[in-house]
Amino acid sequence: MPLSGRWTLTRYLIEQRRRFPGASGDFNALLLDVALACKAIARIVAFGTLADTVGTRLPNGANGIAPGGQLNVQGEVQKPLDVLSNEIFIRMNEWNGHLAGLASEEMDGPKQIPASYPRGKYLLVFDPLDGSSNIDVNVSVGSIFSILRAPQEAIDSGRDVTEADFLQPGAAQVAAGYAIYGPTTMLVLSVGNGVAGFTLNPNLGEFVLSQPDIRVPEQTQEFAINSSNSRFWEPPVKRYVDECLAGKTGPRGKDFNMRWIASMVAEAHRILMRGGVFLYPRDTKDPAKPGRLRLLYEANPIGYVMEQAGGRASTGRQPILGVKPSALHQRIGVVFGSKDEVERIERYHHEPAPSEAPAPLFAPRSLFRD
Ligand code: F6P
Ligand code: MN
């Protein structure tokens, strides 16, 4: 039985690995490097705007991993935090021999493993700093990651990875999670056997197990949506939100509360802790963009964690994890959180819109139908 407050992330991963006697340990080593990247980013984020100030010294960890030029010898940050976070993820993971390639929000195409390092069997996909509009205002941001297996033939040949190698449905993920940089830094992770939460103990510099088995409550009275987009919503979303807003006297018969942080990581975290539903649905705002969030490094990893925690993640029409991606930076409508609410929203998408529904007189089993 995992011991909350006693087990480090390392111990948790070793105990999980015992389920697979043949496992080599590569996977665990990779996750520890991902966690190290998150710790380094947490330190830099903690400096806030001071990180941009000439002469500010960053912690040694940040100095140590930066390639020449991005942090100068005085430890000055010369690049925006999201670019720096991307570089940290790359530097912490490209050398270890466990990856065949990387991809992220900050790079147009896949990043190859430099020839000087061995290639491994996993693909790492990440959003190095999610919630970028909150970076400058001291509101929680985070990093999201997804681990896939590279195609066997790419592993065997050691060839360069291609965009197509990454276009795997979310159900194929072997692990996914996120770090949240809030009042505390936390890592929330699933290796396919439920979801565990770890809190960074700043004294030890270690992630320590704090939530051994996170479960999303199936019901909720809290929703999150950017309602400034309401005029662009599709009818099923409008209907759902209208019914929430109608509260006790409406069809739902209960009052709802609403939250919008604008850091998806933070919304996902709140929902994992106490339930709720998050929507960034497909809308008609920009026909070129079928949704705001990205499938491979936002929707899929968060969807995986939600489902592993007993919640649900959907496009509104189908499970997120079943979508076959068509491009690395593909956008998609996203609904996730408490199971009953997500299922209700899916139901609304599948029911005919009220205007399309047959008039009662012509409905099946009505007077004028046989
Ligand atoms: O990465 C995209 C993101 O920053 C999410 O973290 C967040 O949920 C969303 O964008 C916020 O969007 P908006 O600016 O429309 O509220
Ligand atoms: Mn993001």
- 222-350 has which fold? D-Maltodextrin-Binding Protein; domain 2 (3.40.190)
132 C-alpha vs ligand 2 centroid, how far in Å? 7
Domain 9-211: state its class. alpha beta
Query: Does ligand 1 have an atom closer than 6 angstroms to the CB of 130?
Result: yes
Sign of the CA dihedral 267, 271, 276, 280?
positive
130 C-alpha vs ligand 2 centroid, how far in Å? 4
User: Of all residues in the chain, what percent are helix, strand and coil, respectively (each to 5)?
Assistant: 35, 20, 40
307 C-alpha vs ligand 2 centroid, how far in Å? 20
Predicted confidence (pLDDT) per residue in 211-239, tens digit: 999 999 999 999 999 999 999 999 999 99
Q: What is the DSSP letter of 19?
A: T
Alpha helix stretches (DSSP H) within the chain = 9-17, 26-46, 60-65, 81-93, 152-157, 163-166, 235-246, 264-274, 300-308, 339-350
Predicted confidence (pLDDT) per residue in 83-133, tens digit: 999 999 999 999 999 999 999 999 999 999 999 999 999 999 999 999 988
The pLDDT assigned to 22 comes to 84
Domain ranges of the chain: 9-211, 222-350
Nearest ligand to the CA atom of 263: 1
The pLDDT assigned to 135 comes to 87
Residue 37 predicted with pLDDT over 80 = yes
Testing ligand 1's pocket by substitution, the residue of 105, 130, 269 carrying the most ligand atoms inside 8 A of its CB is 130
Residue 55 predicted with pLDDT over 60 = no
The pLDDT assigned to 63 comes to 38
CB 321 within 8 A of CB 303: yes
Which pair of structure tokens corresponds to residue 350?
Answer: 């599948």
Predicted confidence (pLDDT) per residue in 308-339, tens digit: 999 999 999 999 999 999 999 999 999 999 99
